[in-house]
Amino acid sequence: MTEVLIVGGSFAGLTAARELRGRDVLIVDRSPIGAHQTSACALPVRIAAWLGIEDAILFEDSLMHISVGRERWDVRLPEAFGVIDYERACLLLAAQSDARVERVRVTGREGDTVVGADGERLTANWLIDASGWRRVLDASGATEGRDPHLVIGTEDHVPTALAPQADGFGFYLEKSLLRSGYGWSFAAGDHVRAGVGSFIKEPLQPAMTRLRERDDLGAGREHHGGAIACVPRTPVDGNVLFAGDAAGHALPITLEGIRPAVFFGAGAGRLVNAALAGTLTAAEARSRYRALHAEHLGGYAKLNRIQRLYRYLPEPVLRRLVTRGVGQPTRGDGEVAFRSLRYLDVLRPELLPALP
């Protein structure tokens, strides 16, 4: 029997597989590795280095621009973030694992058996659900797109020549774009990734039209979008560990997904590896993973509370909140320092203990 079956070949699943190198691991995904980007794909450069995917970085900077109405803050972060080529990053990460990869569209689970759309029935000693927001191994069935807890986003890749106002990492907290959400514009080498995300599932295409008008953006050469799960869910069910969006691990408000996916993917992989080696019992591995998840629930609760209230905050209040967080709006070439260091300190996979 296969030792570990991982459902999902993106960051959470591939990181878990890397931690399980040397084990009999099978990754199944409905698409080829790296085929479907679903986010802006930005993460701290130090995490990219830890993952061994630095060659996938298209742009990096430590300066972030926040706009609320006519006010703008140029915020200097304590570390650089990078925008990555999703396919290249996934392939680099997959190359560090010796897991087998098969294309299977998983539709659910019957007890300890993973069921595929074409009649596949797969078993393993351990299962890791890294399938994203669909959470396909949930005993009660996969999550549907209309689930009210999901956040939605969409993004265009616009050639740099057609994005004259693009300027590094830009965030637009502007009610003229979205009632409850924000827009962004990230430089990415030969193109700009411009998109919008809504916390309440309001229509996105009108917001994208307004963003294009705001930044004088030309036609995109590529488009993608999808749902994001940032409300934590049960991380363990029998011999199944859920990681990344499958466990609601995307960070609320910012919707940052790669950092938490990698953190919990690494944690799941290390604990399963320890159980297979006999260092931990299966029960101890499950208990430790539950504890790792629970350790961060307080932070998720606070961010989700702000996210729920966001729709009710007018721009003057948003401006006051940003000023409280980073200082007065910048003028000319001025910069302000990012004060919310706690946000950047959590869920750091490079600081995860060898045995979480």
Contact between residue 56 and residue 34 where contact means Cβ atoms under 8 Å apart: no
User: pTM for the complete prediction?
Assistant: 0.96
Q: How many helices (H) and strands (E) does the chain have?
A: 9, 17
pLDDT of residue 341: 66
SS3 331: coil
What is the architecture, at CATH level 2, of domain 2-308+341-351?
Answer: 3-Layer(bba) Sandwich (3.50)
Residue 3 pLDDT class (50, 70, 90 cuts): very high
Among 276-280, 284-288, 318-322, where is mean pLDDT lowest?
318-322
Residue 338 has pLDDT above 80, yes or no: no
Q: Output phi, psi for 118, to 5 deg.
A: -100, 25
Q: Quote the percentage of the chain above a pLDDT of 70.
A: 99
Residue 343 has pLDDT above 90, yes or no: no
DSSP sequence for 171-200 = EE--TTT-SSEEEEEEEETTEEEEEEEESS
Q: What is the DSSP letter of 204?
A: S
**Residue 209: in which H helix or E strand, if any?**
helix 205-215
What's the pLDDT tens digit per position in 10-41?
A: 999 999 999 999 999 999 999 999 998 877 89
Name the most confidently modeled range: 77-81, 162-166, 323-327. Answer: 77-81
How far, in Å, CA of 73 to CA of 131, rounded?
Answer: 37
Query: C-alpha 231: how far from its chain's center?
Result: 13
Residue 176 pLDDT class (50, 70, 90 cuts): very high
Share the mean pLDDT of the chain.
94
